[in-house]
Structure 1
Amino acid sequence: MDWKTIPSLASLRAFDGAARTGSLSEAARSLNVTHAAISQHLRALEAEFGVPLLDRTGKGVIPTAAGQILGSALADGFDRIAAGIEALRGEIAGRPLTVATTPTFAENWLMPRLGSFWAAHPEVEIALKPANRLADIAGGEADLAIRYGSGAWPGLQAEKLAPATFVVVASPTFTKINTLPACCWYFVERGFEHRKWAISHGLVTEGTRIEHLDSNALVLSAVRAGHGLTAQTRANVDADLASGALVALGEFEDEGAGYFLVTRAGEPSPALKAFTSWLKTDI
């Protein structure tokens, strides 16, 4: 399609509105523009084609023979566009809200609390995508990601959900029989914020004994069993600390960083609004 041969969309919408309603005033109201703007668009359209498209009558306007040809084509085209948009909106509204986060955050913080969200919003279906890698929000891989960082993700909207509070934890039995300098630290094998944070704060150095495991769930299992200690964000170990399965050896807030709600730019869907509002009140 050569768009240079097609008149402006504004003028075509003005003509379609006038042809459908038979009134320039009604067309102006339906398009939320002035009567003068509709008249200007129609004059420009008739000048481009070189023929009159509407006959002005005392009560309004009716399409000429040329106007009927254009009006029929526009009515068909705009109706198909409207139907396609409505179908897409229905498809989007029927999809679950996809939330990407780390497996540990999903398991230890989000899943135990989701019941309260569903009780308040039974109409919203949630699809969790737990993964250590960052989800491609811009590419539509998820509607929302809960990410740790500084909040700088170009092209995306980021709202701080909570500060990143890190806790050094171990089992109660481990702390009774070991001293900190000689102990073993457990971290996920891949580069992960917990290990990076411990290194940046001087808790882990080149001489520190470190065991790397495949997942943070295994890390926490090893630490609960008394094999060593680890650094975790507070949200990941709140339940363990409350139950006494783990004890905190130190707690630190990572200034400038935190957990962020990351979404695509634009107006959020009602489901996304409801979920983010719930997250912000429940964190």
Structure 2
Amino acid sequence: MDWRSIPSLAALRAFDALARHGSLSAAARELNVTHAAVSQHLRALEADFGEVLARREGQGMQLTEAGHELAIALGEGFARIADGVSALRDRNAVRPVVVALTPSFAEAWLMPRMGGFWAAHPEIEVRLVPGVTLTDFRRDGIDVAIRFGGGDWPGLQAEPLALSAFVVVAAPHFTKARDLKGLLKLTGQDWFFSGASSEQQIWGKAIGVDFKAIGAREMANNGLVASAVRAGLGVSLQAKTLVAPDLASGQLISLHEGDPEGLGYYLVTRPDGLSHSARLFVRWLRRLAKA
């Protein structure tokens, strides 16, 4: 970059403050300089660009069209600088690792394994934020997300964490159905799904079962769904990784398995780097998924 080709940063900072506050005096107070200094910076910028950037209007200043364009560019640029500085300062800061994830993944897969991470890193606090809606990483302070879908989230980095098949499960003697054709003959009251599990509804439509349309039994969370199915009250769609212990023990049996290409759980992060604590958590997740 040729720094000689752009105005001084002091002048650009002054104009950014003026644009945000709409007042020379307010901009001067923010920058801890005099009213005259901000006015001088404004005149210097206008001379440099050959454009009027702001006009006095009553007690304040009104930006021109050129002033608006410059203000938008400066706002975006200074915001990126602030993000970069904060990320660098936070890299080794001791703060919680905030993880957004689906409720079913948190309950059935992650929480039973979290003891291993805390045993290895007792100094790191991990704050889990279960939810079915997508979160805004910057707005919500999210470090890492475990999302369900096809891996395409613009502006974020996504890597497969668990792309295992889904499975229709039931207690051993609940139904004689052992294939998809037999399952599709079940009534809506035989199916259980969680309103907090987008995974189940996506998988259901993949095999031709729309839970809302058939009037399936909806539970508040996947823990209740699993309890109902273990008790022999119905069938449910689950990620195979989440019910592997139940299948291994024989408490549940598999009635049908599917594997929609690319559909599963993804480890999602921002492209601008992680704190030291978040990097340790991500490495632990990767090792766990491979195992």
Is 1:263 the counterpart of 2:278? The answer is no
> Offset of 1:4 from its aligned partner?
4.2
- 2-structure distance, mates of 1:127, 1:97: 6
Residue 220 in structure 1 maps to residue 226 in structure 2: yes
Q: Report matched runs for 1:241-256 at 5 Å.
A: 241-256=247-262
Asked if the contact 2:151/2:262 (under 8 Å) is kept, the reply is no
Please state if 1:105 is matched with 2:101: no
Sequence identity (%): 45
Q: Which residue of the partner structure matches residue 195 of structure 2?
A: 189
> Is the aligned partner of 1:127 residue 2:127?
yes
3-state secondary structure, aligned to 1:95 = coil
C-alpha deviation, 1:200, in angstroms: 2.1
Residue-by-residue CA offset, 1:122-154 (whole Å, 9 max, x unaligned): 222211111222222232432111001111111
Instruction: Provide the secondary structure at the position in 2 that maps to 1:173.
Output: coil
**Structure 1 residues 157 and 8: alpha-carbon distance in aligned structure 2, compared to 1, 3 A threshold:** farther
> 148-157 or 128-137, which moves further after superposition?
128-137
Unaligned runs of 5+ in 1: 10-84
Partner of 1:273: 279
**In the aligned structure 2, how far is the partner of 1:206 from the partner of 1:154?**
29
Q: Which residue of 2 aligns with 1:231?
A: 237
Q: Is 1:198 the equivalent of 2:210? A: no
Instruction: Look at both structures and tell me which one has the larger radius of gyration over its CA atoms.
Output: 1
The residue matched to 2:227 in structure 1 has which SS? helix
- Residue 118 of structure 2 corresponds to 118
Change (3 A) 1:93 1:168: same
The CA deviation at 1:7 is: 6.4
The 1-side partners of 2:284 and 2:91 are apart by: 24
Whole-Å Cα distance in 1 between the matches of residues 275 and 9 of structure 2? 34
- Per the normalisation by structure 2, the TM-score is 0.62
1:216-240, Cα deviation, whole Å (9 max, x unpaired): 2222122111111011112221222
Per-residue deviation, 1:274: 1.4
Q: How far apart in 1 are the matches of 2:196 and 2:217?
A: 12
In structure 1, the residue matched to 2:146 is 146
Give the aligned residue type for 1:271: S
Residues 169/92 of structure 1: CA separation in 2 closer, same or farther (3 Å cut): same
| AA at the equivalent of 2:131 | A
Letter in structure 2 aligned against 1:182: L
Unaligned runs of 5+ in 2: 1-5, 13-84
C-alpha deviation, 1:202, in angstroms: 2.1
User: How far apart are the structure 2 equivalents of 1:177 and 1:155?
Assistant: 44
SS in structure 1 of the partner of residue 273 of structure 2 = coil
More displaced stretch, 223-232 vs 178-187: 178-187
Structure 1 residue 97, shift from structure 2 partner = 0.5
Q: Tell me the amino acid that sits aligned with residue 215 of structure 1.
A: N
Mapped partners of 2:144, 2:254: distance in 1: 31
CA distance 1:92–1:243, shift in 2 (3 Å): same
Contact 1:171 1:225 survives alignment (8 Å): yes
Instruction: Indicate the residue corresponding to 1:94 in structure 2.
Output: 94
- Does structure 1 conserve the Cα–Cα contact (< 8 Å) formed by 2:162 and 2:266? yes
CA contact (8 A) 2:148 2:263 kept: yes
Q: How does 1:34-45 map to 2 (within 5 A)?
A: none
Q: Distance in 2 between matches of 1:207 and 1:107?
A: 27
CA distance in 2, matches of 1:207, 1:140: 34
Residues paired across the two proteins, number = 206
